[in-house]
Amino acid sequence: MAKQGVASMLALALLLGAFATIPTGVHAIGVCYGVNGDNLPSASDVVQLYRSNGINQMRIYFPDTNALNALSGSNIGVIMDVPNSALSSLASDPSAAATWVQSNVQAFPGVNFKYIAVGNEVSGGDTNSILPAMKNVNSALANAGLGNIKVSTAVQSGVTQGFPPSQGSFSQGYMGPIAQYLQSTGAPLLCNVYPYFSYTGNEAQIDLSYALFTSPGTVVQDGGNAYQNLFDALVDTFVSALENAGAGNVGVVVSESGWPSAGGDAATPGNAQTYNQNLINHVGQGTPKRPGSIETYIFAMFNEDQKPGAETERHFGLFNPDKSPAYPINFS
């Protein structure tokens, strides 16, 4: 879920920014499905809403039985999280990981699982459990004949440091071994990327247009790479961090990105629509360091009025609980 802590991370995107030509026919967009709200549609209605809008990928934040049953047979690609609260037990006990996989993955053979996210933006002492839990879950999947499902963890931009993007590195010691493990398994790193929080944390030096993909030209020239928007700069900082950790072959999946429509600075329906539509249109072309489609999940499907934290957290939805669009978006 979105975190304001992302803001302080990179005083990286200094200056203003710009946006390049937008390709069509993007097939790399998913949407995160959170359930911390009142009067949300049934899971079966949610899956139908995804399908009717041509959204072919979903992230869920725990093994939600209702969602998994509704997803069965839909062929929607799924990221499913291991909740942070479960990391310690899965890290310390391979049999607990095997039971988790049996109950939450093997029990739903009709679901198109793509990735298991072992923790989301884990912090504090729990970070010591990420890698052993990943290893145990990966082994449990392999033993169940499900080695095609990749195991990773979802991190926010605060685990990186450095500007310009080519100078990116991991600021947290636990990330190097995780990156090297991902390189050994072929799984991507799941990255939560929020230009919104970078902008609101440094409005004096970051132009809103840089965050919204709407500036007219290159702003940050980083060697041979020209950065016209903050999203690309944040993603490529992760790419450089992976390279500097000896894991340059690890892919990046943007497991969350979005913009709130209310509740804070620059949080308007117009800005949210501009950001998310431009994101959808942009990710098919990739970043300067990684041209090509970037698999990206918008946060989030619904405005969730029960989400804790800052007011903006309750206004990231593309849709209202009655399934009406919060603002117009074209997913094709």
Catalytically annotated residues: 121, 256
Listed in sequence order, the residues at least 6 apart from 309 whose beta carbon sits closer than 8 Å to its beta carbon are 1, 4
Contact predicate 218/27, CB 8 Å: no
Sole residue written with tokens 């725990």: 62
Neighbours of 223 (CB within 10 A): 9
Which tokens sit at 34?
């959170």
- DSSP symbol at 76: -
Which tokens sit at 4?
């304001």
Phi, psi of 243, deg, nearest 5? -60, -45
Residue 295 CA to residue 30 CA, distance in Å, equals: 8
Contact predicate 233/45, CB 8 Å: no
Contact predicate 252/299, CB 8 Å: no
Contact predicate 176/159, CB 8 Å: no
Phi, psi of 226, deg, nearest 5? -105, 125
- How far does CA 276 lie from the centroid of its chain? 13
Q: How are beta strands 160-161 and 150-156 bridged, if at all?
A: unpaired
DSSP-based three-state secondary structure for 140:
helix
